[in-house]
Amino acid sequence: MQKLLVTGSSGLIGSEVCTFFHRQGFEVHGVDNNQRAVFFGPQGDTRWNQERLSTDLTNFKHHEVDIRDRDGILKLVDDVRPDVIIHTAAQPSHDRAAAIPFDDFDSNAVGTLNLLEANRRVNTNVPFIHMSTNKVYGDAPNKIKLKELDTRWDYDDENYAEGIAETFSIDQCKHSLFGASKVAADIMVQEYGRYFDMPSCCLRGGCLTGPNHTGVELHGFLSYLVKCNLEGREYKIFGYKGKQVRDNIHSEDVVRFMFEFFKNPRCGEVYNIGGGKNNSCSILEAFDIAATFSGKKQEYTYLDDNRIGDHICYYSDLSKMREHYPNWDITISLEETIGQIVDAWKAREAQ
């Protein structure tokens, strides 16, 4: 039986990875120590997801290991000897990073290095899939010429008609400390791939979401927005008239791509993985879609100050992913995704 080692196994993408690869017959080893609750408080707690995986997946084993624990990670990888490593654990908020810079860098950059080196020491042929972020591009996308429409901003440059491609520069811009720590991890994954000829890739995610997302104000845009809508809670819009645009991809589509990469890996690759133009929406548009499922109008307040380094408009050009892996494409629409999130929050509240 093939073995999977996945970090951040109780999180949105990590838990989806566990479930999907388990269905493919893998023995799944999940690594998670509930740091999300440390970063975001009780509302970020993911123990419920850990318990769900332990109950539902026969061949799942939980490992309470911190990825910052170098010796612990070296031992774990040596003990498990996985056939694939998928690294989704991170401090995920650029707002939070400014308050906890050491924790942010140690989790995102050093934790990634620990895993890469552990992988290299055990078996350089094992694919390493890293969940990176579009924040590695900093605020450079804001320099693209934009046009203001009734409910959203959009690109007003034909070179970006399909979105941001992997050739976009990561230099000469403001990243936030979170973005900088993720750049360090991203480059290290590429370097291990090229320098040691290790199969590896960085997935520069847009807004990754789905029904198992434990969204909070500082991270998890759609999940948190839906939660606010259902509870009649006020949602805060930070600048840009609420017309800022994100592309949203369901966690299942993310994991389907990971599986395609595992089957046919490359060394040191980079992919912008998001919902693309068709699955993009502004905050204002997301309010309207959520309301169609919940029947509730969103209460919100508007603050003129945007978040530092925040994108005005961002959606991913999926051309490279489709070219390299023609069996993969987006299968779950934005509307279907939001509907699933609404149902999931209702189910959790009913428990």
Beta-carbon contacts of residue 56 (< 8 Å; ≥ 6 apart): 19
Helix (H, G, I), strand (E, B) or coil at 301: strand
User: Strand pairing partners for 207?
Assistant: 248
Contact 272, 280 (CB under 8 A): no
Residue burial 140-172, b: 16+ Cβ < 10 Å; e: rest:
bbbebebeeeebbbbbeeeebeebbebebebee
In this prediction, residue 313 carries a pLDDT of 97
Find, among 175, 328, 185, the residue nearest to 270 by Cα: 185
In this prediction, residue 67 carries a pLDDT of 97
Instruction: Walk along the chain (351 residues) and give the pLDDT tens digit of each residue.
Output: 999 999 999 998 999 999 999 999 999 999 999 877 777 777 778 888 899 999 999 999 999 999 999 999 999 999 999 999 999 999 988 788 899 999 999 999 999 999 999 999 999 999 999 999 999 999 999 999 999 999 999 999 999 999 999 999 999 999 989 999 999 999 999 999 999 999 999 999 989 999 877 777 766 788 899 999 999 999 999 999 999 999 999 999 999 999 999 999 999 999 999 999 999 999 999 999 999 999 999 999 999 998 877 899 999 999 999 999 999 999 999 999 999 999 988 887 776
Full DSSP string of 95-136? HHHTT-HHHHHIIIIIHHHHHHHHHHHH-TTS-EEEEEEGGG
Greatest C-alpha distance within the chain:
56
In angstroms, how far is the first alpha carbon of the chain from the final one? 35
Distances (CA, A) of 128 to 76, 186, 190, 210: 15, 12, 10, 23
Spatial distance between the Cα atoms of 47 and 32, rounded to a whole number of angstroms: 9
Beta strand pairing call for 27-31 and 3-7: parallel
Contact 246, 233 (CB under 8 A): no
Structure tokens given for 311? 């994108």
Beta-carbon contacts of residue 150 (< 8 Å; ≥ 6 apart): none
The helices-and-strands tally (H runs, E runs) of the chain is 13, 15
Q: In order of start, what are the domains of the chain with their CATH numbers?
A: 3-350 (3.40.50.720)
Beta-carbon contacts of residue 210 (< 8 Å; ≥ 6 apart): 12, 16, 250, 251, 252, 337, 340, 341
Helix (H, G, I), strand (E, B) or coil at 228: helix
Radius of gyration of the chain (CA): 19
Kindly report the pTM of this predicted structure: 0.93
